[in-house]
Amino acid sequence: MAREIARLDVDPERTRAFEDAAGRAVPLFRGAPGCIRMDLLRSYEVAGRYWLLIDWRRVEDHAAFRASRDFAEWRALVGGFFTSPPAVEHGLAAGIGFS
């Protein structure tokens, strides 16, 4: 499994509208091949900062999603809220931790 970790910075005065738009995008992720889970977290410390966490079966599944119409629709829904380009990384399990 690969976890996509994206930092999204949004105009703090537009967070409600951003969250509404992101909520409308959930079906795009739910239907994406290889997408296991998607969560959007609001930062406690920084106004307007969000963390998008998506579990993909493989990094390649995320790459395929980025080339899809659904990704273009996601960006059309939320891209106008970003105050800077999203910072995206992938995390792979190191085998340390607990559930």
Q: Calculate ∠ Cα 32-38-39, nearest 5°.
A: 160
**Residue 9: both structure tokens together:** 């910075």
pLDDT in tens, the chain (99 residues): 999 999 999 999 999 999 999 999 999 999 999 999 999 999 999 999 999 999 999 999 999 999 999 999 999 999 999 999 999 999 999 999 998
pTM strictly above 0.85: yes
- Full set of structural domains in the chain with CATH: 2-91 (3.30.70.100)
| Separation of alpha carbons 97 and 21, rounded Å | 33
Type and span of the H or E element at 67: none
Per-residue burial over 71-88, b if 16 or more Cβ lie within 10 Å, else e, is: beebeebbeebbeeeeee
